[in-house]
Amino acid sequence: MSSYIKFLSRNKLYSIIEAIGLTVSLAFVVIIFCYVAQHIAVTYENQHRKEIYGVAIQDKMLYQYGMKETIGESIPEIKAITEFGWIYGTEMKADGQMLRLAQVLGCDRDFFNFFPVQFAEGQPDQINETLTAFVSEEMAQTLSQSGEVVGRTIHMLNHDFTVVGVYTDIGTSLFYAMPDVIVNVNLTDGVTYYGGFDSPAVPANIFENVWLFIKSFPDVDREALCGKLATATEALYLKILGREYPVDAATIKLVRLDEVFYYDGQTTLKRGDKVMMHSLLAVGLLLLISALFNYINLNVALTSKRAKEMATRRLHGATKGRIIGKYLLESLAFTLVCMVLGILLAKALEPLVNRLLGDDVGVKIMLSPFYLVSYLLIVIVVALLAGIIPATVVSRAKPIDVVTGAFRLRNKMVLSKVFIVLQKVIAIVLIALVITMEVQMRHMEQRPVGCRTENLFYVNSILSGRCLYGYKMVALQ
């Protein structure tokens, strides 16, 4: 290894070019690996993901309140059903003092069987008690500043709720944020929420802001289950409201839990972009291949400088296997150093990458055991790919060819030209992609919109107390 360090020190320009190219490439490989791994983790986090389905109508994951009991009775393939929804920006008070605008999740007892909520205090069954609420660990810290948390009374939605428990984790990464409070979706006594409707009094309301998830028994046919769900929906609507279902029941779909993250028809849960993920994988692969070619090309181009050393080793009894092993070990050490620098660079670029992607999940450079082992595997693969060709070339060098210069001539005439051509092709492809994307983005920004946009602004506000949204276009003089 000392001879390799001496070789790098004598060829500083080569070493700097090689290190920068490989470090930058590995940084982007780390970013893309974390991005893909963290997106896949969302789809695989629930062990019952292949048995849980979200219900969608006309490609929208919104359903009507009041379906749970009827569906459960009429479709034996269904094991469990849960209804849940959000109440955004509702005023929350304690002891007559305004605490904050809270994000409230309304759900039923079965929700905890679908998503493993972690409780620090309290039991899931307590959600069935009258006007009870669970609060998040963060909200509990706010309440604890002025007394005990469990047993405390909080006022929201025009009612007083008793805090019966504290949760630390909601059990799913699909939600944009941890709810501040969890209450029963089946509130009675005239509590009005979810878009201003009194849900218990208006079952089968097709405009209800409620999500319905079902859990089937294993190996149930999705298409057959979907057909039965459509029939039950039409029947319930006709029974309760006395008229036919206003939409085509054939548009009812079952979206499996591991597919929900990539489903375009939902806007309330987090969403991933498969096209973006595949595009990043392709770009990352091209960058890595380009860096590998750069590493290989520089090593092959400089093999003549180390050929004398390797020829001397051969004369002293070193086998081809030992020569190849030495080169691979040097490649592994060099790649490992570049990976460490690449991880540091990726961590520094993390905020910028997240701003550019604007993704619901985003990228977080992790250093947990799983990720460290993955980085090490990447180092080993890259080191083998980068070092095997130069190692093979040098190991085949005969001492007599090194002395006469024949080895150097063949080396430059064949391998160097091949890798230079491949490198240029990849560079041209990447430059063409960047130019195409830039032109398309400029076209989208500068295209005619069909109206005057000077001094015209968009204002969005959430009214407190219920899920009502206000939108207004404001023109300034």
**pLDDT single digits (tens) 339-389:** 999 999 999 999 888 887 777 777 889 999 999 999 999 889 888 887 777
Q: For residue 275, what are the CA distances in angstroms to 41, 60, 148?
A: 17, 20, 49
The tokens of 82 are what?
């849960």
pTM more than 0.75: no
The residues with which 91 forms a beta bridge, in sequence order, are 101
Specify whether the CB–CB gap between 180 and 92 falls below 8 A.
yes
Q: Cα(415)–Cα(428) distance, rounded to whole angstroms?
A: 20
DSSP state of 317: T
- The residue type found at 424 is K
Tens-place pLDDT, residues 101-130: 888 888 889 999 999 999 999 999 999 888
Specify whether the CB–CB gap between 253 and 60 falls below 8 A.
no
Q: What share of the chain is helix, strand, coil (3-state, %, to 5)?
A: 55, 20, 30
Q: For residue 254, what are the CA distances in angstroms to 59, 64, 272?
A: 10, 15, 18
Specify whether the CB–CB gap between 354 and 362 falls below 8 A.
yes
How do the pLDDT tens digits run along the chain, 477 residues long?
A: 666 566 667 667 777 877 888 888 889 889 988 988 888 888 888 888 899 998 888 777 766 666 677 676 778 888 888 888 887 778 888 888 888 888 888 888 999 999 999 999 999 999 988 889 999 999 998 888 877 889 899 988 888 899 999 999 988 888 888 899 999 887 644 444 444 444 555 555 554 567 889 999 988 898 888 888 888 878 777 776 677 776 777 788 889 998 888 888 777 788 888 888 888 888 778 777 777 777 777 666 666 565 566 656 655 555 666 777 777 888 888 889 999 999 999 999 998 888 877 777 778 899 999 999 999 998 898 888 877 777 776 666 665 555 555 555 455 545 566 666 776 777 787 778 778 877 877 777 777 777 777 777 766 554 443 444 444 444 444
